[in-house]
Structure 1
Amino acid sequence: MLHQNPNPSLWTGRKSETIEYWHQAAISVRDLQLDEGQQTPKVGILGYAGEEGVKRNQGRLGTAEGPNAIRKSLGMLAFHLPEKSRIFDYGDIYTENSDLESSHDLITKTVLELLETKHFPILLGGGHDLALAHGKGIYQHLASKNQKLGIINMDAHFDLRPTIDGLGHSGSPFLQLAQENKDTFQYLCLGVQRSVNPKSLFKTADEVGAKWMVMEDFRLNNWEVIQEKILWFLDSVDKIYLSVDMDGFSSAFAPGVSAPSPMGFRPEFAFKVFELLASSKKLISMDVVELNPAFDHDHATARLAARCAEYVARKVLGLL
């Protein structure tokens, strides 16, 4: 089985007699035995300790260590989720012998089970190829409900590149999802940088009906236009899957990524978007991907990734 049980020792931080920090609230669960209780708001954390997709896409290796780095930073954060909330750490799914597809199959199956058992899934990457497996699980969950999924990707890249000899990679997940869900694919990419996306990818985005905002327009002084575009997209779908690629942030804040860029968005602006998405009550799953601890400085990127996960969880569960 391509699964590694969680390591409780990663969840450390300040001590207190009551639950005041995430490390005190996190429950490590072995062998993917998902909690099936329906009574309390709950987060299901699942790591993707894989970088085969990054390797295939000629990126910098090291993202396999991302999930544990995020856990370490999450554990130290103050706990402000609703009092009865539960946080379950279900460990990591990894890739063996370059068999990306088998690890994806297990991720898809687990995401479906997390949603069916009323978790708010937070997946930690790992390469952005995770989005293909993650998205498949959500599509399967919504199929029986006849609900339309909208995907919002905060990223410097479209990740709409073609597969390589039929094999997916960290640059192709959303094209693969578009091809598998031709009639229902709804995709909004925020923070796209022209300098790292050739004209052919903008053409592909048009062909699959994607929407986007380039980095030049994705700034705080343009908030009214951005808000209108996001709200229009939210109104067109029933549920939202949020994917946060850490390389979408400026490398001043997120140096530890596979493909750093000095021209990305700022954290406070990204969090403004998170709040808008959470307030819609349509956000049902998220992932934080492409953290590469090998290139991080003073855990800055890991801390930011953890803050993204904590903030979204706090806002989503606070509305339940």
Structure 2
Amino acid sequence: MSVDMSVWQGRSDPEDGNLGLRWHEVIKPADEVNDAGIMLLGFACDEGVSRNKGRTGAYDAPITIRKALANLAWHHTEPVYDGGDISCNDGNLELAQKRLGEDVCRALRQKHKVIVFGGGHEVAWGTFQGIGSHLLQKQHAQESVIEPDELDTPLPVPKIGIINFDAHFDLRNPPSGGSAEQGSSGTPFQQIARFCELQGWPFNYACLGLSRAANTQALYKKADKLGVLYFDDCELTHQRLPLVIESLEHFIAQCDYLYLTIDIDVFPASTAPGVSAPAARGVPQDIIEPLINTVLAAETPSGDKKVLVADMAEYNPRFDIDNQTARLAARLAWTIARALR
């Protein structure tokens, strides 16, 4: 794990005092953690995209997003830390995902909210491993303090809502072969569904912004079988937005915790050219934003934010134009951080 703070550079306006601060002047490395805040993690990896026969280049996304975020104005009240990158340089995607999961779990245990910069959408399986491990640890801690006369009462299973803004379901089955199944950027939510099945947890998955032209009938059939809530890109219009928000709010109400994941290819190619698979249609930012804000606003009965972790995937600097996709990703990170803390 390396934390390169040199990427955090930008304009300074000392004449404006603390009201003139920008991110690069406030963010701290993870080894200077004092108070709970936002932990940024990077997943420098496009092994999953390569396995999925896509355009590689997402490996460089975490550092490029940081550079775009560095010069944005600081409008936050709690600290933000940079936890560095997990890098997949040897083709061992499974190990990289495991290491990301460990970092996410550690940050959650330290009471941070977490934002992860992918990488291909294989980042989602790494992120979710961290969420799952954290909640399993909480469950075991609760079990250890149960009174003997309460042992026959099983603890409620955690209900995690996975909300994915994406042109693709990413519910493919990993191809069998060799000693183990290999995942890719197209398999993370199938892997998460399998994890939930093994734990006896419900699989609550919502996918918004799908391109029907880019998802086979088999994937729609699988989504229906798994009870996935989904909306195609052509259904996400201003006219239908209240109905979609109502459906999303109903989904959120059934969940104890939320995991927000944004595949940048959900936006039109004109807005986000720098992605592994550009969207011919996509969903405009002014439709996506109120939906994301609905997710970020969700609270538990105790007043805590339901979102534990958010991540972004598939930004590909190699195909970006004038850094416009990097700016979009940075603005999304800015919005998420401000809402969560």
CA deviation after TM superposition for structure 1 residue 218, in Å: 1.4
Indicate conservation of the 8 Å contact 1:111/1:134, yes or no. yes
Q: Which residue of 2 aligns with 1:299?
A: 323
Is the deviation greater in 128-137 or in 6-15? Answer: 6-15
For the structure 1 residues 34 and 226, does the alpha-carbon distance in structure 2 shift closer, same or farther, using more than 3 Å as the test?
A: farther
* Among candidates 312, 317, 322, match of residue 288 of structure 1: 312
* Among candidates 278, 281, 284, match of residue 296 of structure 2: 278
Q: Which residue of 2 aligns with 1:67?
A: 62
| SS state at 1:177 partner | helix
Is 1:178–2:193 an aligned residue pair?
yes
| SS state at 1:297 partner | coil
* Among candidates 3, 6, 10, match of residue 3 of structure 2: 6
For the structure 1 residues 125 and 224, does the alpha-carbon distance in structure 2 shift closer, same or farther, using more than 3 Å as the test?
A: same
RMSD after superposition = 1.3
Runs of 4+ in 1 over 4 A off after TM superposition: none
Q: Which residue of 2 aligns with 1:314?
A: 338
Is the deviation greater in 12-21 or in 106-115? Answer: 12-21
Indicate conservation of the 8 Å contact 1:250/1:265, yes or no. yes
TM-score, scaled relative to structure 1: 0.93
- Aligned-partner Cα distance in 1 for 2:263–2:166: 5
CA deviation after TM superposition for structure 1 residue 28, in Å: 2.4
Is 1:102–2:103 an aligned residue pair?
no
Output aligned runs, 1:104-143, within 5 Å.
104-143=97-136
Is 1:252–2:270 an aligned residue pair?
yes
* Among candidates 38, 41, 47, match of residue 46 of structure 1: 41
Residues 160-214 of structure 1 deviation map (CA, whole Å, 9 limit, x = unaligned):
0111231000000001100111242100000011000010000111222211111
CA deviation after TM superposition for structure 1 residue 41, in Å: 4.7
Identity of aligned residues (%): 36
- Aligned-partner Cα distance in 1 for 2:13–2:39: 24
- Aligned-partner Cα distance in 1 for 2:290–2:315: 21
CA deviation after TM superposition for structure 1 residue 271, in Å: 1.4
Q: Structure 2 unaligned runs (5+)?
A: 140-156, 300-305
- Aligned-partner Cα distance in 2 for 1:10–1:222: 41
Residues 137-162 of structure 1 deviation map (CA, whole Å, 9 limit, x = unaligned):
11222233443110000000000011
Indicate conservation of the 8 Å contact 2:160/2:255, yes or no. yes
One-letter identity of the residue aligned with 1:284: L
Q: Structure 1 unaligned runs (5+)?
A: none
Is the deviation greater in 102-111 or in 277-286? Answer: 277-286
One-letter identity of the residue aligned with 2:4: N
Q: Which residue of 2 aligns with 1:162?
A: 173
Say which structure is richer in helix: 2
CA deviation after TM superposition for structure 1 residue 65, in Å: 0.3
Indicate conservation of the 8 Å contact 2:98/2:129, yes or no. no
Is 1:228–2:246 an aligned residue pair?
yes
- Aligned-partner Cα distance in 1 for 2:95–2:247: 37
Equivalent residue pairs, number: 306
- Aligned-partner Cα distance in 2 for 1:189–1:196: 14
- Aligned-partner Cα distance in 2 for 1:164–1:15: 51
One-letter identity of the residue aligned with 2:311: D
TM-score, scaled relative to structure 2: 0.87
- Aligned-partner Cα distance in 2 for 1:267–1:216: 14
- Aligned-partner Cα distance in 2 for 1:251–1:152: 22
* Among candidates 93, 96, 109, match of residue 86 of structure 2: 93
Indicate conservation of the 8 Å contact 2:36/2:110, yes or no. no
| SS state at 1:207 partner | helix
- Aligned-partner Cα distance in 1 for 2:283–2:185: 21
